Structure 1
Amino acid sequence: MAEAELNSREKRWSLKGMTAVVTGGTRGIGHAIVEELAGFEVAVHTCSRNQKELDQCLQEWKNKGFKVTGSVCDVSHRDQREKLMRTVSSIFNGKLNILVNNAGTTIAKDAVEQSPEDISFLMGTNFESSYHLCQLSHPLLKASGNGSIVNISSIASIVAVPQSAIYAASKGA
């Protein structure tokens, strides 16, 4: 491949200098997404419900030379989502390139045993939070001129999984 073609491809596919928010970035898929984006020189802000986990991950990423910031946020709470996006707007100067709605949870129970509180918590965390964060991030994504949203779902939304009816519904939504 010619050097000019390689440089052109690198420019087209580069994420260097972009900004991203990844919810639930201290564990599992979210952690891997934060590392992958940071490895492509994206400035990432993540959130977690757990301050200790967040601090450990931020230190780990700092040691790797990644540009990652973070804040405590339980995405099941509307006011915390709003605070998260105000923080993100401040850190990234009113612009955002990538929103990754990754945070999610489940409560393993038979469908007939799910309480109204269980249903509300699962739908709030897995569906409402993603929808609301899309709304809140819209002005920032638009201001960047180059915005993308990634919603992490689950195979459980299309395949029956025991004790996961509400989880499946929330991820399907």
Structure 2
Amino acid sequence: MTPATASAEASESAEFAGKSALVTGAARGVGKETVALLYARGARVVAVDLRPDITTLPDEFPGVLAMCGDITQEETAARAVQSALDTFGGLDILVNNAGRTLNKPITETTAEDWDAVMAVNARGAFFCTREAFRAMKNRGGGAIVSTGSYTCTVALPEGAAYSASKGALAQLTKVLAVEGGPLGIRANIVAAGVIETDFLDTIRSDSRAYLASFADVQPLGRVAQPEEIAEVLCFLASPRSSFITGAVVAADGGFTAV
């Protein structure tokens, strides 16, 4: 290792020192990997998830503030941001990672289906973003990063509710960039490709075949691992991306390039 490489690695390992972050959907998958990276690089983290096992996260990451809550409720978003303010003295980073998916033909998608997906992916992200934006405005800046999907830029069958919700989140991100720029607040969204997580097993009985079908049509020949998407989220939350805002950053293995 050269001195320059060692210095760069040391700098990266502490790039979030003194910063506080809020991560939603943090109990597993991309959310948990994002918490791990932020924590390892010096951030103080509030981790929120609907799953009760979020409360065990501090066992792995001492000092992380874990909250069990439903982000589709305004009070959860307000409580999460206030917890960061009370515990860490401010909020510098928001990672909107909580999400819900649905694969159904448009003719079979019910009003309840539509509302359930929109409630998490759009409404919940809006609540968290609004509260975080207020805190960051008072603090003099910050970074808001969201986990989006390649389906916010391209369309696939049976994705009406999901694609629409991620498209809404992408457009919200652009509005945040315009409103937040003069305040020192950056906002970006990662258009993630298919990710190999245990979450997929809970929504598809053919999850292995589904993953393989996507791997076969991507230039990289595989799907993403959660930590790969977490790295992109952390990059966009870091000073290394200081001139990037309002961007939809593809992390899809080249799927949308084909």
Partner of 2:70: 74
Note the residue ranges of structure 1 that are not aligned, 5 or more in a row: none
Shift of 1:61: 1.9
Partner of 1:27: 28
Aligned length: 163
- Alpha-carbon deviations, 1:70-103, whole Å to 9, x = none? 101111222322222232322222x111011110
Identity %: 28
Shift of 1:156: 1.8
Shift of 1:115: 1.3
1:118 aligns with 2:119: no
Which deviates the most, 39-48 or 128-137?
A: 128-137
Higher relative contact order (CA 8 A, sep 6+): 1
Partner of 1:56: 56
Assess if the C-alpha contact under 8 Å between 1:96 and 1:143 holds in 2: no
User: What is the TM-score when the length of structure 1 is the normalising length?
Assistant: 0.83
Note the residue ranges of structure 2 that are not aligned, 5 or more in a row: 169-258
- Secondary structure of the 1:169 match is helix
1:136 aligns with 2:137: no
User: What is the TM-score when the length of structure 2 is the normalising length?
Assistant: 0.57
Query: Where in structure 2 are the equivalents of 1:1-173 lying within 5 Å?
Result: 6=7, 10=11, 14-51=15-52, 53-62=53-62, 67-93=63-89, 95-173=90-168
After superposing on structure 2, the runs of 4+ consecutive aligned residues of structure 1 that deviate more than 4 Å are none
Assess if the C-alpha contact under 8 Å between 1:22 and 1:99 holds in 2: yes
Assess if the C-alpha contact under 8 Å between 1:20 and 1:100 holds in 2: yes
* Root-mean-square deviation over aligned CA pairs: 2.3
Amino acid at match of 1:99: L
Label 1:34 to 1:143 Cα distance change in 2 as closer, same or farther (>3 A): same
